Structure 1
Amino acid sequence: MNCRFVVTGGPGGGKTTILEALQERGYQVVAETARRIIRDRVAAGLSPRPEPASFAQDILRSDIEKYQSTADREAPIFFDRGVLDALYMLDAADALTSAEIEQYVQAFPYNRVAFILPPWRDIYVSDSERDQSFEESVSVYEGMKAWYSRWGYEIVEVPHDHVDGRVSFILSCINTS
């Protein structure tokens, strides 16, 4: 069984908080790439984001490295977004053909269960690295849901709940998959 699980969705849905809670419970977690790129760019005196295709290419390269660095194992590994998220961005920028995207999807598979966090206005905040509006978060969420479905993933929506409840929900799903 593929034990690489993706947690995805729009910005500000609680992905990082949930992944931190999973890590506190002893699970291996792979951090999101986009925030690191934004921090590095700002520290270097650059604008937070390069143009979309370049940003997505940088994310894809890093996400592939992260994927490859996680050995096949029997214990779950949780990814804060994944290769497919970068491919979604590249598709939106018309930077890859459908055939190229399909090759990446096949080369870097995750568990067929993909966890998606719906937008949640009550917890949404913007910051120096999350500059999208709540409405943009909703749009990204809808796009990711369709994108992962397009590539054959079973989308499991993580309900709005306190952090422990959301983590317990995810863990109960992977124990039955």
Structure 2
Amino acid sequence: MKNRKIVITGGPGTGKSSIINRLEEKGEKCLHEISRQVTLEAKKQGIDQLFLEQPLLFSEKLLEGRLDQYLEAMEFNSDHIFLDRGLPDVVAYMDYFDTKYPEIFNKICQNNRYDLIFILPPWKEIYTSDNERYESYEEALKISSYLYSTYKRYGYNPIEVPKLSVEERTSFILDKI
């Protein structure tokens, strides 16, 4: 099968970026998380936390960017490509924050399917916050449960990645594909 789209997701601070970076170092094709870009672009425009101040606008920008990534992944000449988060992540966060969104969000998630979902569980020992990650660990736990349920609602069966070193987690993922 060509151009299999493989999502690596999980709550904030679960090690997604570290694994994506390690996969890339191993020569794997990867598309990186875009929420930090959206957040930084908003900060340049004077909006400190776009998601908190204008959650629907932020989510529309994320959905658009992730749909672009999905379409970009289809153009790769590769057996598979890894994506740091997928379209359903947008819906999961909107549901977590109890923010209404148009039905098109669901339609986009239903019509643009991924081949495999890996989910990283919350892990207090590696969790850190920074300028773009404002959630507490307790909030990260709740977000993680929304991610699980959202992916399942769209018919996926996420594979949980065990709490191991970055190298071991990366090997686990590669062994499963």
TM over 0.5: yes
Q: What letter matches 2:151 in structure 1?
A: Y
Contact 2:92/2:143 (CA < 8 Å) preserved in 1? Answer: no
Which of residues 82, 89, 101 is equivalent to 1:85?
A: 89
For 1:139, the equivalent position in structure 2 comes to 142
User: Which deviates more from structure 2 when the two are superposed, residues 34-43 or residues 69-78?
Assistant: 69-78
SS in 2 for 1:78: strand
Matches within 5 A, 1:6-25: 6-25=7-26
CA contact (8 A) 1:13 1:119 kept: yes
1:4 aligned counterpart, secondary structure: strand
- RMSD over aligned Cα atoms: 1.6
Match of 2:156 in 1: 153
Matches of 1:80 and 1:26, distance apart in 2: 16
Whichever residue aligns with residue 94 of structure 1, its letter is K
The whole-number CA distance in structure 2 between the counterparts of 1:54 and 1:115 is: 27
SS in 2 for 1:154: coil
Q: Distance in 2 between matches of 1:75 and 1:13?
A: 26
Q: 2-side partners of 1:44 and 1:101: how far apart?
A: 25
Aligned to 1:5: 6
Query: Letter of the aligned partner of 1:86 in structure 2?
Result: V
Paired residues of 1:7 and 1:80 also in contact (CA < 8 A): yes
Give the drift of 1:74. 4.3
Corresponding residue for 1:116? 119
Cα distance in 2, alignment partners of residues 168 and 64 from structure 1: 27
Cα gap change, 1:154 to 1:73, in 2 (>3 Å): farther
Unaligned ranges ≥5, structure 1:
none
Q: What amino acid maps onto 1:106 in structure 2?
A: Q
| Contact 2:121 2:161 (8 Å CA) reproduced | yes
User: Can you list the C-alpha shifts for 1:125-167, whole angstroms capped at 9, x where unaligned?
Assistant: 0000101110111111100001101111111000100000000
> Residue type matched to 1:158 in 2?
V
> Are 1:41 and 2:61 counterparts?
no
Aligned equivalents of 1:170, 1:155: Cα separation in 2 = 12
Q: Contact 2:14 / 2:122 at 8 angstroms: preserved in 1?
A: yes
Q: Deviations over 1:21-68 (max 9, x none)?
A: 000001111111111111222233321224211111110011111111
Question: 1:51 corresponds to which residue?
Answer: 54
CA distance in 2, matches of 1:102, 1:34: 19
Which consecutive unaligned segments of at least 5 residues does structure 2 have? Answer: none
SS at match of 2:27: coil
Residue identity opposite 1:55 in structure 2: F
